[in-house]
Amino acid sequence: MKFGIDRLLAEPELRKPLEGRRVALLAHPASVTTDLTHSLDALVATGLNVSAAFGPQHGLRGDKQDNMVESPDFNDPVHGVPVFSLYGEVRRPTGQSMNTFDVMLVDLQDLGCRIYTFITTLLYVLEAAQAQGKSVWVLDRPNPAGRPVEGLTLRPGWESFVGAGPMPMRHGLTLGELGHWFVKAMKLDVDYRVIEMEGWAPDQGPGYGWPLGERVWVNPSPNAPNLWMARAYAGTVMLEGTTLSEGRGTTRPLELFGAPDIDAREVIAEMRRLAPRWLEGCLLRDCWFEPTFHKHVGKLCNGVQIHTEGPAYDHEAFQPWRLQALGFKAIRRLYPDYDLWRDFPYEYELGKLAIDVINGSPLLREWVDDPAATPGDLDALTRPDEAAWRDERRAFEIYP
């Protein structure tokens, strides 16, 4: 298959509208061609007038490890162009940086989850482009989590840098498709174009969204090391709003959860007792780990690893958001007074619990904390949101 960047490089007619125009690139370390040339190098080599580059959260170089660790502006040492950070002093492109280009090419590998900030950065770029009369092209890439939809829709008033708009946690669209949705949903008047992929087959195994065995995985952010993390991420990202470790400081971040003071075997047993259907499509394994940094650093943790990399993986059955919610519910039932919710400024949102910012409302947390609430109650809240999104997104799907 071909990603958007590969088509743009291979097909001169696609590049023709860029001739004579100043081109900027929004990219990160996973912005590479099929032979692993970085998109910035590849675009300059075509002779295009690349006048600036932009980096999202974690930076153009992907060197910033954690959330709320900002990246500075700098000059690219190879090509001499300015590199502007969209996760530093500003998160929206400013007038100064917008004046450096006519067309912005967005070549970002997404993970298919509302919380992943690259999609919010795309919205901010589209809004700035509308204000400044600029063009935005997305060089499309696969959604490695594929087409399934899961999770509560973000409620009005809960918009944030990790919640760009009213979509569920797992949205099932590519970045290019999301751009079309943003233009329509936010009523934007902007020159927007997608350089589409060729041969993307999100319903086909073994990758189900990612061309496994055909394309190399490069971390789009430091704790996104593989496809298995991408599959679990729509659930495990909620761990950022808890006192439980999500595996940062281990070699399998965001594929597991745990803490020094839980019994993982009891947690798994309680999850199976409460809602066995929510655990289908993967295997759970109790494990031990000691984070080298971040939460519970240097402490031995008992945890649960979510395995989606083996023959037990069922793409349609796997429900990472429900699975992780069930993990919280099991801990709350086993340890009623457990200090589960982490209270700290999360992605610059003050006065709100991080778990609520992540979920776009307090509904998930309230379900976990209510002793009388059942898995059926959460399904009753969530299924209408999921069905409505499937209907809404259909108009924006550009791949068969």
Burial of 139 from C-beta contacts in 10 A (0-12 / 13-18 / 19+):
buried
**What pLDDT score was predicted for residue 268?**
98
Residue 336: inside a domain: yes
Residue 137: inside a domain: yes
Residue 379: inside a domain: no
**What pLDDT score was predicted for residue 313?**
98
Flag the least confident range among 70-84, 98-112, 163-177: 70-84
Same domain, 19 and 136: yes
Same domain, 232 and 215: no
Region class of 103: left (phi > 0), else alpha (psi between -120 and 50), else beta = beta
Report whether pLDDT(188) > 60: yes
Residue 191: inside a domain: yes
d(CA 261, CA 198): 49
Q: To the nearest whole number, what is the mean pLDDT of the chain? A: 95
Same domain, 84 and 170: yes
Residue 118: inside a domain: yes
Same domain, 235 and 190: no
Same domain, 246 and 358: yes
**What pLDDT score was predicted for residue 347?**
81
Give pLDDT tens digits for 122-142. 999 999 999 999 999 999 999
Report whether pLDDT(194) > 60: yes
**What pLDDT score was predicted for residue 66?**
59
Which pLDDT band, with edges at 50, 70 and 90, does 6 fall under? very high
Mean local confidence (pLDDT), 258-284: 98
What is the percent of the chain where pLDDT is above 90? 90
Flag the least confident range among 37-46, 170-179, 267-276, 340-349: 340-349
- 74-75/191-195 β-pairing: unpaired
Report whether pLDDT(377) > 80: yes
Flag the least confident range among 75-89, 93-107, 250-264: 75-89
Same domain, 283 and 175: no
Same domain, 235 and 329: yes
**What pLDDT score was predicted for residue 46?**
96
In CATH, what number is assigned to the domain containing residue 10?
3.40.50.12170
Same domain, 256 and 207: no
Same domain, 48 and 147: yes
**What pLDDT score was predicted for residue 350?**
83
**What pLDDT score was predicted for residue 63?**
62
- Range of the structural domain that residue 169 is part of: 4-221+391-396
Looking at the 3D structure of the chain, how many domains does it have? 2
Same domain, 14 and 118: yes
Same domain, 290 and 236: yes
Query: 263: which residues sit within 8 A by CB, 6+ positions away?
Result: 302, 334
> Which pair of tokens denotes residue 370?
């209510």
Residue 384: inside a domain: no
Same domain, 203 and 98: yes
- What one-letter code names the amino acid at 357? V
Closest by alpha carbon to 248, among 10, 62, 67? Answer: 67
346 or 138: which carries more pLDDT confidence? 138
Query: 60: which residues sit within 8 A by CB, 6+ positions away?
Result: 27, 28, 29, 53, 54, 71, 83, 85
Give pLDDT tens digits for 53-80. 999 988 887 665 555 566 777 888 999 9
In CATH, what number is assigned to the domain containing residue 299?
3.90.1150.140
**Helix or strand (DSSP H, E) at 107:** strand 103-107
To the nearest 10°, the Cα dihedral for 38, 41, 43, 46? -130
Residue 380: inside a domain: no
Instruction: Please provide residue 176's backbone torsions phi and psi, each rounded to the nearest 5 degrees.
Output: -65, -40
Instruction: Write the DSSP symbol of residue 241.
Output: G
**What pLDDT score was predicted for residue 3?**
98
Give pLDDT tens digits for 360-372. 999 999 999 999 9
Residue 385: inside a domain: no
